[in-house]
């Protein structure tokens, strides 16, 4: 049992990037699957997905992408579909869409941009993992400025952010996060991999090939 645990730990250390990229893929796919299921009339499994992802995101329709005739809708367009209920933020969150508008993706535009950019940057990192130096933490703060300004001014009611602004700021944050953390994780796990291989040699007296 101990050897199995050691082997699993070693594989996670060795393939950490694959594990993260796979996890992000599995996280994002249902968010897009939900509106597809709604459009196909499979409402019950779709609603389960929306319900689960509501824990992680506000899901406001005017700040979400749709799979339908249009990719995004303004609050005024949502109001035409919902009527007076649009003024209730909880009912607005629960509005999934309709056959005329299509149905929203299960997370908002900013969150979708963040997770997708982290996934794409992670895939790109696989090509340069031995060459890319980590972004300094101070520089990462610069990458955080757009999302902080865009989100805070929207939260305070000073302005309404735009889909382009949410995607840009979210994507910049996601790329900056990967550039800051992934090279450091790679360096740390390479050291951990060496330690694991040395321990394996010492215990078994064998090569680490196939470990």
Task: List, for residues 99-137, the tens digit of each pLDDT value.
Answer: 999 999 999 999 999 999 999 999 999 999 989 999 999
Higher local confidence (pLDDT), 183 or 3: 183
% of residues, the chain, pLDDT over 70: 89
Range of the domain at 72: 2-204
What pTM did the predictor assign?
Answer: 0.89
Q: 210 lies in a domain?
A: no
pLDDT confidence tier of residue 74, bands split at 50, 70 and 90: very high
Residues 6+ apart with CB under 8 A from 31: 49, 53, 105, 106, 107, 112
- CA–CA dist 61, 63 (Å, integer): 5
Tell me, yes or no, whether 150 lies in a domain.
yes
Residue 31, pLDDT above cutoff 90: yes
> 148: part of which helix (H) or strand (E)?
helix 137-155
| For range 185-189, the mean pLDDT | 92
Q: Which two tokens stand for residue 61?
A: 């329709």
What is the rounded (10 degree) CA torsion for 33, 148, 136, 180? -10
Task: Kindly state whether residue 211 falls inside one of the protein's structural domains.
Answer: no
- Whether residue 209 lies inside any domain: the answer is no
3-state secondary structure of 88: coil
In this prediction, residues 16-28 reach a mean pLDDT of: 97
- Whether 121 is covered by a domain: the verdict is yes
CB atoms within 10 A of CB 141: 12
Q: What is the pLDDT averaged over residues 52-62?
A: 97
Tokens of 154: 């929207």
Residue 11 has pLDDT above 90, yes or no: no
**pLDDT score at 160:** 85
176 within domain boundaries: yes
Distance CA 119, CA 104 (A): 21
What's the pLDDT tens digit per position in 192-203?
777 766 766 666
Ranges 43-52, 55-64, 129-138, 155-164: which has the least confidence: 155-164
Q: How far apart are CA 184 and CA 189, in angstroms?
A: 9
How many Å apart are CA 114 and CA 194, to the nearest integer? 33
Task: Answer whether 64's CB lies under 8 Å from 31's CB.
Answer: no
Stated length of the chain: 211
User: What tens digit of pLDDT does each residue of 140-163 get?
Assistant: 999 999 999 999 998 888 888 999
pLDDT beyond 90 at 207: no
96 pLDDT more than 70: yes
Sheet holding 102-108, edge to edge: 64-67, 102-108, 97-98
27 alpha carbon, distance to own chain's centre: 7
CA distances from 122 to 52, 99, 112, 189 (A): 25, 36, 15, 16
Average pLDDT in the chain:
91
Residue tagged 């520089």 (tokens)? 139
Distance from C-alpha of 36 to C-alpha of 71, rounded to nearest angstrom: 13
Statement: residue 81 has pLDDT above 70: yes
Contact 65, 127 (CB under 8 A): no
> What is the predicted pLDDT for the residue at 142?
96
40 found inside a domain: yes
pLDDT of residue 211: 54
Question: What is the domain count for the chain?
Answer: 1
């Amino acid at each position: 049992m101990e050897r199995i645990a050691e082997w699993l730990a070693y594989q996670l250390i060795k393939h950490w990037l694959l594990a993260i990229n796979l996890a992000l893929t599995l996280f994002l796919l249902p968010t897009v699957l939900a509106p597809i299921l709604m459009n196909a009339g499979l409402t019950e499994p779709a609603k389960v997905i929306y319900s689960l992802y509501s824990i992680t995101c506000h899901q406001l329709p005017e700040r979400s992408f749709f799979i339908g005739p249009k990719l995004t809708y303004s609050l005024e367009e949502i109001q035409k579909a919902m009527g007076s209920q649009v003024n209730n933020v909880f009912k607005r969150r629960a509005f999934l869409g309709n056959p005329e508008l299509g149905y929203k993706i299960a997370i908002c535009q900013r969150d979708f941009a963040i997770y997708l950019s982290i996934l794409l940057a992670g895939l790109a990192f696989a090509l340069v993992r031995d060459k890319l130096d980590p972004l300094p933490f101070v520089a990462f703060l610069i990458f955080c400025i757009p999302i902080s300004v865009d989100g805070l001014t929207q939260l305070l009611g000073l302005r309404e952010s735009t889909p382009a602004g949410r995607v840009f700021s979210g994507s910049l944050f996601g790329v900056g996060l990967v550039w800051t953390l992934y090279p450091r994780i790679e360096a740390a796990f390479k050291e951990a991999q060496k330690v694991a291989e040395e321990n394996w040699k010492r215990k078994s007296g064998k090569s680490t090939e196939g470990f």
